[in-house]
Amino acid sequence: MTYKLDKITVDPKICLGQPTVRGTRITVSVILKMLATGKTVQEIIEAYPELDQEAVQQAMKYAAWVVSDQIHSVPVVSEVA
């Protein structure tokens, strides 16, 4: 599967090299944290008018790509009876 991620960039001079939305200082992690707390895409765009729906979608795609690329297994914690 190929993702178009032209709105996401990594530049060591911007936000300490964290992935950001191109042309902004809005990090992918800020977008993900907002989504994780229940914000909708529309609410994120209202909070950051420089974003559009595609930028938020690409942030989610980027995060999914990073996680699938770096996490190969998750340790299973056995239940104690």
State phi, psi for 52 to the nearest 5 degrees: -130, 175
Number of domains present in the structure of the chain? 1
Q: Tell me whether residue 40 is in a domain.
A: yes
pLDDT of residue 68: 83
Q: Tell me whether residue 41 is in a domain.
A: yes
Its domain, for residue 48, covers: 8-65
By residue count, the chain amounts to 81
Q: Tell me whether residue 79 is in a domain.
A: no
Q: Tell me whether residue 55 is in a domain.
A: yes
Q: Tell me whether residue 19 is in a domain.
A: yes
Specify the CATH number for the domain of residue 43.
Answer: 1.10.10.10
Q: Tell me whether residue 43 is in a domain.
A: yes
Q: Tell me whether residue 3 is in a domain.
A: no
How far apart (Å, rounded) are the C-alpha atoms in residues 4 and 17? 20
Flag residues of the chain having pLDDT under 70.
1-3, 69-81
Q: CA separation (Å) from 4 to 40, 55, 79?
A: 22, 11, 41
